[in-house]
Every structure is written in C-alpha cells, then in structure tokens.
Structure 1
Amino acid sequence: MLIVSLIERLAIITTIAFILTRFKFFRKLFDYHTKMSTKQRITLTLVFGLFGIVGTYTGIVINPLEGSEERWSSSLTHDEALANSRVLGIVVGGLLGGFRIGFGAGLIAGVHRFFLGGFTAVACGFATLVAGFIAGIIGHKLRKQTFISPWIALIVGIVTESIQMGLILLIADPYSQSSALVQNIMLPMVVTNGVGSALFILIIRSVLKDDDQTEANGAQKALKIAESTLDHLRGGLSYTSAQNVCEIIYSKTSTLAVSMTNKDTILAHIGAESNHHKAGSPIQTESTKKVINSGKMLTIGKEEILCSETNCSLGAAIMAPIKIQNETVATLKIYVQNENLVTPALVELVQGLSGLFSHQLELSELEQLQELAKEAEIKALQAQVNPHFLFNAMNTIVSLIRTNPDRARTLLVSLAKFIRQNVENSSDSLVPLHKEVELIRYYLLIEEARFGDRIQVKYSIDPNTLDISIPPMGILTLVQNSFKHGLQKVKENGVIEISIKDEGHFITISVLDNGIGIDASRKSSLLHDKVESEDGTGIGLYNLHERLKKMIHHSDGLHIESDKNGTVISFIIPKTIHKLEVKEFS
C-alpha cells in the first residue's frame, strides 16, 4: 500500500532529524534566548531546504494512467508524479525559524521539484513555496509566545498538504490525470506529512528539553557545591580551604579525583593517586601553567597529564582558571578515567564552579580589605615601641652605667637599632627573615639583661631560610608574648627557643617557652576574639593570626599548643609569596 511505503520514507526523514539533533551546532540553532543571527538563518534555510529535497528524492513515483508505482527516481516523465514527504521539512523549518527561513527553504525545495519534471512540477513547486510561507507566518507569530507544539505542527502539516492537493487539481494538466492522482495519494500524503511534522517537532522539543534539564541539573549541582564551599572560601584560598573544597566536590560528583592549585603549587588533591599527587608539590603539567597564563579552560588527555607514575589511573582532566579581578590566581582540576568521560555536562559543571569560586574569592578579598581597613591602625602600632618595654630598657641601661658601662653602651646601641629597624620594617608588607631575626636579637639582648640568669635563649634557625619574606613583627610578637605572659613569673631556668625550619616548599616558624602555659579557656578564645594585651604592643596574638590569614592566602594563621609545662606557638609561610597574595592597606 502507498501509505505503508510513505511511512517507510517518513522513518528515514525522522531518523535523519534525530541524528542531526545529536550535534551541538544544530541544537544551538534553536536557542530562543538569543536573537537569531544572519548566519543561523542561512544555515537553517539550507538545512530545511535540503530536508525538502531529501523528502522529494525519497518519494514514490506515481503514474496515474498506468496505475504503477516506482521507488527512488531522480527524474520524472511528463505522465509521472511523486508521492513524497517534501512538505514535512519545509513546514518544520517555517514553524521553527519563522517566515524568512520557511519561505527560503520552500523556495529551494520548490525550485528543485520544478526541475525534476512531471505533469505536477509547477503545481508541486508552487505548493512547496506556499507551504513554507504559511508555516513561516505561523512560526513567526508563535515563536515569540511559546515553543511550537506537535499539535500545531500536525495541523499545519495537514493544511499545507491539503493545499498542495488543491493546487494540483487547479494547475496540473490534464485534469483527469490530476484527479486520479489526488484520489490515489491525498489521504496517505496528508496523514504522513502531518504526522511527520508533529513527530519532527516532538524530537527536537524532546532534545532541547533534555538539554535544558541537563543545564538545570548542572547549575543546581554547581550552586549546591558553591553553597557548601562558601564558608571554607570566606577566608581566602589556603591549603586547608582547598582541601575542604576538593573533598566537597569529590563527594558530590562521580569523578576520579579533584585538585586545586595556586600559581605554582598543588594546594589539595582528593581521590585517586593522592599518594603521589600531593599537596605542597610543585605544579607538574604544562597544561596547568597554560591555564594560569591564558586564563582559559582546557581539557587534556593522559599524555598531557605527565604523571611520573607509569600506572597512574588519571586518564583525562578538565582544568579551569579561578580568577580575582580578571587575573588567574588558582586552578580547579577534575580528573576522570578517560577522555570519553569528559562530557559536556561535566565541562559545564567545572566551568560553572570555577566562575562561582572566582566570585567567592573576590568577595572574600573585599571582606578582608574592609576588615583590614578597620584595623588600619596596626601599621601605626607596628611603628610604635611599647612604652613599658622602653621604660624597662632605659632603667636597665641606667642601672648598668655605673656598674658595667660597656654593657650599658652595648644595650643602648641595641635599643637604638631596635627602634630604628622597627620603624623601618613597619612601612613594609613583607620583610626578609634575616631582618626579623636581627630585630629579635636586639630585643632579646635587652630582655636578657633585665631577666639575667633567669632566662636562657636558644636559636634553631636554618640559614637557608633567611632570605624568605614574612610579615614584619611576626616572630617578635610571639617572642614578646612568651616573655610577658609565659616567663614573667619564672624565677629560674626559664627557656625560650626560636625555631625556623625548612620544610621543602614552606618554612615552619615556632617560638617555645617553658613558662606557666595558657589556661584552656583563654587558649580557645585567643585566636577567635580580640583580647587586648595589658602591656603588649597592641597587636596581640589575635591580630597576628588574622594578619597571617588575610595577607597570605597560603597561611592558616597561628597554631597554639600549651599545657602546664609551657607553650609552643607556630605558623607556616610558603617560600614564595606572590604579590597578589599580599594585600596592601593603609
């Protein structure tokens, strides 16, 4: 039967439609959120015009005089006509693309049909143009209101095919032959073209709906992850915050591993192969450096990961930049087993997360700068010498002038150098470690003279660390804290030890004393509340803790261990501190 043959042809057309919807470029043509460009209109016109031509070529040749049917013909004799699905592509093009696309596709397919020949060439060619015009007008009216429904496509397909039958009766000659043809093909063609148009729209609508759902799911997942990481990134990007963020992403995605880096160091790596992709290690891949330098996202395969372990399971990665004020300061990396698992949805997720993290860090930086602005007096306080210390030092020097003038002279010189260097250092955001150590030695010479044999000072300083930069008065604050609060009441055998250790990619600075220790209740609040010192410089442990966290992204601030046998306060500083990592304030 003719209708069965036409349904077979219809299956070919809809299969082609389904295959096309698998291609991203074709789906983008139906993005109604943006105005269609001239290039898009031309592409759609050609695509749907081609659909009309394919519908013509896949038609069935009909000879109403002989009652014969043939399949797949590239030309027609004068007595032959075609039962086909040409109108299907034209109707869909007009409904989806509007008047210009519908009319253009109808013109292309109509002209082609005219030159194919047959006694219905003029009628069918003109009817194809009319179908594109009608579908285009309806599509233009409805496009601004809603997505075209399959029911509308069904009605338009039936109407335009019926018009074609009427035009064949009016234009084709002889009438008897036209009448016989219409009686034979009208019902099958009207049904198949109407149903085919509806089916075509349904396929496209289903694909676009799936795309929207995928994007919605990806956006929802990205927002959930961003919400979970907000508290961790509020204080900036450090080893601890990066570790927490990577753990959250890893737990909420089906990825092999998640990693974050700054400009030169791996901050965290969670998941597979964490035994050799370790936090604190330098960046290994040129691709990561390329992302940092270019500020653009990359996807790479196993060869570009450049892992030193031959059996490493990391087969592919998506690398996205994290920016502050349009400058890349870190990267987010998602690893999967192979490149086939780098799906568009995963790429969109990584891109969305990197953008959200960038905004979070920018907001964090603004909050930090606002906080630092409120505490701008710290700079002035750094330049001040504690009057209690100054009075005690002068009293000590005065008492030595008669008994030990040489010692008094030495202490006076040390005091002068301490005051001068303290003022000089206060104007800098960072100072070389050797200057800080020199400042501490001047301070301790005076304090040792005051305390006499009650206090013993020990140094354990790696000479390779002395050129590394740190915030000014970072160590001095800890030394002052030990003297004033830890060793003040010690009558004998007091010890204070200053330790600076090279730990590879960072250094650990600690100050130990065997004083009375810190009360547990006070210890818990020291780093979380502003506790002003009664006789300190005004900076205090809390301010130093906050300065370290806010001025240096890599620093987690101070770490305190204390019991009745004494106290150890330490902090970590990366060997290389980038300019972006130090926030100037005034």
Structure 2
Amino acid sequence: MWDLLAQMLSRMTLIITIAFLITRLRTFRQMIYRDLDLKDSFVMILLFGLFGVIGNYTAIVVDPEAHVISNIWNPALQMDNAIADTRNIGIIIGGLVGGPLVGLGSALIAGGHRFIMGGFISDATLITSLIGGILAGLFGRKLRKFGLIRPLPMFLSGLLILIIQILLIPLFASEHSTALHLISYTGIPIVVINSIGIWICAIVFNSVIQDEENTRANQTATALSIANQTLSLFRQGLNESSATKAAKIIQQLTNVDDVAITRGIRELAHTGGTSGQSEMKYRELVFKTGKMESAYFSEFEFIIFPLIVKEKTIGTLTFYFNHPFHVTSVDREMAEGLSNLFSSQLELGEVERYNHLLQDAEVKALHAQIHPHFLFNALNIIVALCRRNPLLARQLLIHLSTYLRNNLRGLTDRLVRVEKELENVHAYFALENARFPDKFELTIEMASDLNQALIPPFVLQPLVENAIIHGELKDLGGIGKIHVEIEQQEAELHLTVTDNGVGVSPERLADLGQRVVHSTKNGSGSALFNIKERLTALFSQDATFRMESKQGQGTIIFITLPIQF
C-alpha cells in the first residue's frame, strides 16, 4: 500500500501542474466569474474531461491480488487487471466549479475512456464516475452561494464523494469479492491522493483568482481616485486647462504610459508630445462612429475611446502603452470605465452651465431630487466592496454612473423613453439592494413594445425610492416587495407602483400629492407633489395621479397619461 501511495503521489504532481496551466487560460478565468451558458459548459466539460483522461493514462496498474505490475502510461489493460488513478480529480473539480452538467460531461469523457481501457472493474468505474460527477456538480451549486472557490469545502466535498465511489465499486462490479479485495488495498491510496489533489488544485485556482480580484480591487480604487480628482476639472467643461490636468492625473495613477484628450479631433492635451497621423485617422473614425478603436504598432499600442455628452461624441480619450504585450484585460476595462466616467462628468458640467444660464426653477427642483446622502451611501458601499467583492463594486459603479447620467439628462429632457426611466429604476434599486442585501424584491411587468413610449423623467424612480424609504420595506421582517406595472389601454398609458410596506394613514393620504407638508418623521411628500404638478403641467387634465393605501398592507400609486411614441 505504501509503495502504491508513493507512486500515485508522484503522478499527482503532473495533474497539479496541469491545473496551474489551466488557470493561465483567460477563458477559464472569465467563466469562473459568471453563470455558464451552453458554450461555456461545453468548454469546461472538454477541459476537465481531458484532465481526467490524463489521470487515466498516468495510472498504476494492479492485478486482482493487489500487486503493482506496471507504472507506465497504459493505453489498454488486461481483463483481469485494474488501475489506481487520479481520474476523479478532473471529474470532481469540474463538477464543483462548473455544476452538474460539467460534472456529468467530464465524467462521461474520463469515465468513458476508463471503460474503453478495460479491466475487470471497468463497468463499475464508469458508473461511479458518473455518480461522482453528478454529486460534485450538486455540491458545487451549493458552494457557489458562499463563494467562487474555497479550498477546504472543496476538499471535504471531494473526500466524501471519493469515499462513496470506492464503497460503490464492489456493488457494481461483476466480481464482487475480487473487487472488494482490490479496493481494500487500493482504496485508501486512491482516496488520499485524489482528495489531496483536489485540495491542492482548489488552492491553486483560489490563489490565482484572489490575485486577479486584488488587481481588480486596486484598479477600482484607482478609478475612484481619478474620478474624484477630475470631477471639479471636467465640471468646468472640456478645455485645454482641464484636459491637461486630467491627462497628468491619469498618467500618474495608472499603468498607462501616455494620455491624450481631444475636443472634436483637435488635441487639447498629450502627455507624450504631439500625436501622429496614425492616431488622427483613428480619432476621426471614433468621432464619427462613437465607438472605441485600437491599433498596435511595433513601438506602442493605443486605445481611443469616445467622450459622449447627451448621446453625441464631443471628443476622444487616448491611452498609450509602450509595452503592448503587458496590457491586460483589466487595464482595458479600467480605461473604458474611465472614459464613461469622464463622459458623465462632462455631461454634468454641460448641465450645470445650462442651469446657470437658464435659471429654470423646475429644473432646479428636479436637481434637488439627487440627495447628497444617497450619493454618500452609494460611494461608501462601493469603496467597502472594492477589496471584498471587486466585481460587484465595479457593477455598482456602473449603476451609479447610469443613475447620475439619467438624472442629469432628465434635467433638460421633457420626456424620456420608458426603457430609460426603467434603467434608472434598476440602477437605483441595485445600489439600495447592495446596502441592504436580501431585503427587497423588485418586479416589473410590461409589454416589450412599450419600451419606446415617452413619459416624463423622474416618475417611476422616485416612487420606487418612496416605497423603499417611507414604506419602511427594510424593516418589515420579511421581503419588501415592489411591483411596477406598465400597460396600454387604448390611447392611455397606465403606470402602477405597488408595495407591501407599512402603508399610509387616511389623514396623511389626503394630503400626499396635493401639497408639500412639514414632517420630520414621514417626509414632506415633495416628490409625490412634484410628480403630480409636472404631470398636470405637461398633460393638463389628460393625466391623473391617484394613491390607495391601507396601514400595514402597503400602498398603490396609479398614474395615467396620454401615450406617446
């Protein structure tokens, strides 16, 4: 037994080396972070199935009397022989990482190959391989709720599955007593080596992913720092002064070698000197199409992003890399995120200048809806998640950018498409849900052809916000539910927002939407009053605003307005 254990240990080092090489694959890293579709599952099945096949080929041949008779690569077996292998490392890791479909698929490949190799327990090993793959997939589905890859839970899950497989082999083998005698010798080495292999592979996967998460966290923190330092610059507009200072800040805080900023195609700032004709050609293309372009030359690589204000490209942002082979996907993602943030900051500057000239009281009232404490809380939760969950932090940063941009655009737009208002609802809800996980549930019911219908901005999002805050949904003890329904009835568009919150007293219900009231506890009702006043100003008597509520049962708000496309 000790001789077998030592020989299997030497084979396991090859499997661990292969596991490390797998983590170098960009496709594998991307699939780890998302739910697998059929294409991803097929790739994972092939990957871990071949992993298991290598475990078959590096196995050690033993006879029914438990004697080691070969320790070389074995394309086939005699009918009275069996093998001690590391096949199950690939199968179980595949199931734990990819779920039941990947576990079963990997088991079909590796177990099928083991069946073809022959031996007197080949049929039993195929069956137990399939059982192990399915069990690993089911365990993996549970483990993903608590994290991506954690070595200890994966080790314990693998150990349990391996013990079950070993105990089942005599049951499924045609020669029960011979199989039982064989596993009394090979069972412990197989369980020990395979479980240790699973544990080490999980450590390898986890360490690589942790490194990438730390990199993403650092990039997210850098992006936030840049955004904070450039906000006051771009609020002044896109000019030579703001562009020069912003370009220097970006260059100092990132891995970018040089930065250039243009208004139109005219260069306002370039930390590396003057751009050549090659960049100018690509900038013209970006300016016309509003889409990112990149080019690679022997000396450097550059990526050009559009700067967009109110869906119109007003300039470009160029990142230069002197060592193209060192440019990572994280660098590219951060560059794209910065261009989006700068576009939002420029749009904020455009709106502020417009407000300063227009002095429109209605616009100022809407601007006041972006509460400072909401922005403070949103930024706090993003910063807190930068290291703990950088992927979620990045998503929330995108939601915050979407929320701010839509709010700023709404300051100047009389009407917006329903899909834009719902985009704002989703962005706000995602940020609130991150602050209070598993406290709220949002459902939206709408026919897809109503996406392009036009409604006033800041209608649905403030109602969802009111439901969460004044409906006290986070304190219900259960799940706070908000249901938004949008439907067309002849020439009218009906908007309904329902919650299961604490409700409103009859006395207060009579005032809400009719006037602003003074209250230190329940809010002043200014958002509801503002919505009703704007509906009246835009549609006169063709629009209606109505509320129904019962204390302890929730509130329903009905809005009717003429349908427009």
Pick the TM interval, shorter chain: 0.5 to 0.7
Which aligned pairs between 1:105-504 and structure 2 lie closer than 5 A? 105-175=106-176, 177-270=178-271, 272=272, 274=273, 276-277=274-275, 285-302=280-297, 315-374=300-359
**Is contact 1:218-1:349 (8 Å) kept?**
yes
For residues 156 and 342 of structure 2, the distance between their equivalents in structure 1, rounded to whole angstroms, comes to: 49
Partner of residue 490, structure 1: none
Shift of 1:227: 0.8
- Letter of the 1:150 counterpart: P
Equivalent residue for 1:52?
52
For 1:178-232, what per-residue CA distance to the aligned partner results, in whole angstroms no more than 9, with x for missing partners? 2442233222211111011112222222222222221121111011011101111
Cα separation, 2, equivalents of 1:203 and 1:5 = 22
**C-alpha distance in 1, partners of 2:204/2:89?**
14
What CA deviation, in whole Å up to 9, does each residue of 1:407-457 have, x standing for no partner?
A: xxxxxxxxxxxxxxxxxxxxxxxxxxxxxxxxxxxxxxxxxxxxxxxxxxx
Is the Cα–Cα contact under 8 Å of residues 301 and 338 in structure 1 kept in the other structure?
Answer: no
- Note if contact 1:266-1:282 (Cα within 8 Å) is conserved in structure 2: no
C-alpha change, 1:157 and 1:254, in structure 2 (3 Å) is closer
Query: Cα gap change, 1:166/1:341 in structure 2, threshold over 3 Å: closer, same or farther?
Result: closer
Alignment of 1:66-105 (within 5 A): 67-105=68-106
Give the C-alpha shift of residue 354 in structure 1. 0.5
> Deviations 1:353-411 (Å, cap 9, x if unpaired)?
111001111111111111221299xxxxxxxxxxxxxxxxxxxxxxxxxxxxxxxxxxx
What CA distance in whole angstroms lies between the structure 1 residues aligned with 2:73 and 2:289? 54
Equivalent residue number for residue 4 of structure 1: 6
Counterpart of 2:281, as a letter, is: E
Contact kept? 2:59, 2:71, Cα under 8 Å: no
Q: 1:135 to 1:15 in 2, by over 3 A?
A: same
CA drift at 1:111: 2.3
Cα distance in 2 for residues equivalent to 1:345 and 1:148: 21
Say whether the 8 Å CA contact 1:98–1:137 is kept in structure 2: yes
TM-score, normalised on structure 2? 0.60
Amino acid at match of 1:369: Y
CA distance in 1, matches of 2:248, 2:297: 23
Cα distance in structure 2, aligned partners of 1:39 and 1:343: 24
Counterpart-to-counterpart distance in 2, 1:51 and 1:188: 19
**1:150 CA drift (Å):** 1.4
Q: Could you say if the C-alpha distance between residues 355 and 79 of structure 1 is closer, same or farther in structure 2, counting changes exceeding 3 Å?
A: same
Q: How many residues align?
A: 358
Distance 1:236 1:282 in 2: 27
Distance 1:8 1:226 in 2: 52
Cα offsets for 1:239-285 (capped at 9, x unmatched): 11111111211222343322111222111111x4x2x45xxx99853
Could you tell me how far 1:78 is from its partner in structure 2? 0.5
Give the conservation status (yes or no) of the 8 Å contact 2:61–2:68: no
TM-score, normalised via structure 1 length:
0.57
How many angstroms apart in 1 are the aligned matches of 2:93 and 2:292? 37
TM-superposed deviation, 1:83: 0.8
SS where residue 299 of structure 1 aligns?
Answer: strand
* Bigger Rg over Cα: 1
- Following the alignment from structure 1 to structure 2, what is the Cα–Cα distance between the partners of residues 200 and 258? 41
Deviations along 1:146-189, whole A, 9 cap, x unmatched?
33421222222222222232233333354554244223322221
Structure 1, unaligned stretches of length 5 or more?
Answer: 304-313, 377-586
**Cα separation, 2, equivalents of 1:14 and 1:326:** 50
Amino acid at match of 2:46: L
Q: Which amino acid aligns with 1:10?
A: M
What is the alpha-carbon distance in structure 2 between the residues aligned to residue 28 and residue 354 of structure 1? 23
Query: Which deviations, in whole Å up to 9, do the C-alpha atoms of 1:459-517 show, x marking residues without a partner?
Result: xxxxxxxxxxxxxxxxxxxxxxxxxxxxxxxxxxxxxxxxxxxxxxxxxxxxxxxxxxx
Identity %: 35
Cα deviation 1:502-533 (Å, max 9, x = unaligned): xxxxxxxxxxxxxxxxxxxxxxxxxxxxxxxx
Letter in 2 for 1:222: A
The alpha-carbon deviation at position 321 of structure 1 amounts to 1.7
Unmatched runs of 5 consecutive residues or more in structure 2: 362-565
- Structure 1 counterpart of 2:134, one-letter code: F
Q: How far apart are residue 67 of structure 1 and its match?
A: 4.1
Q: Is 1:61 matched with 2:61?
A: yes
Deviation at 1:129, TM superposition (A): 0.9
* 1: CA distance, partners of 2:226 / 2:146: 35
Q: Deviations over 1:9-64 (max 9, x none)?
A: 222222222112112211111114xx432222232223222222222122122224
Q: Secondary structure at the match of 1:319?
A: strand
Q: Secondary structure at the match of 1:296?
A: coil
Paired with 1:103 and 1:71, the residues of 2 have a C-alpha distance of 28
| Whole-Å separation in 2 of the counterparts to 1:151 and 1:116 | 33
Q: Conserved in 1, the CA contact under 8 Å of 2:87 and 2:110? A: yes
